[in-house]
Structure 1
């Protein structure tokens, strides 16, 4: 299960479809073919998402195929 402490590297390995999902939200999680560092929470916070928005993003990530 994906949570706020899931690293981007883990996320990309667990749910490859997350790359496109996050890109559409303005979050680039892969650069030069390699996942960026940090957790889902850290990356979302850097982009200015609120805690509530991050919770919703995590729920959506868990529902991705």
Structure 2
């Protein structure tokens, strides 16, 4: 299960489609082909997402097929 504390590196390993999803949200998670360090929450906070929005992102990431 993906949580706000899941690292970007772990996320990319289990759901490669998450890269495009996060990109569409304006959250950069890949740089030069390598995952950016940090958690989903940290990456989203850097882009100004609220705790509620981050919770929604986590739900949506878990629902990606």
Per the shorter chain, which TM-score range?
over 0.9
Q: How many residues align?
A: 65
Aligned to 1:6: 6
Aligned to 1:64: 64
TM-score if structure 2 supplies the norm length? Answer: 0.98
Stretches of structure 1 that go unaligned for 5 or more consecutive residues are none
Aligned to 1:18: 18
In the alignment, the residues of structure 1 paired with residue 50 and residue 28 of structure 2 have an alpha-carbon distance, to the nearest angstrom, of: 17
The answer to whether structure 1 residue 43 and structure 2 residue 43 are counterparts is: yes
TM-score if structure 1 supplies the norm length? Answer: 0.98
Shift of 1:12: 0.3
Q: CA RMSD in A?
A: 0.4
Shift of 1:3: 0.2
- Deviations along 1:1-28, whole A, 9 cap, x unmatched? 0001100000000100000000000011
Report the 3-state secondary structure (helix = DSSP H, G, I; strand = E; otherwise coil) of the residue aligned with 2:55: helix
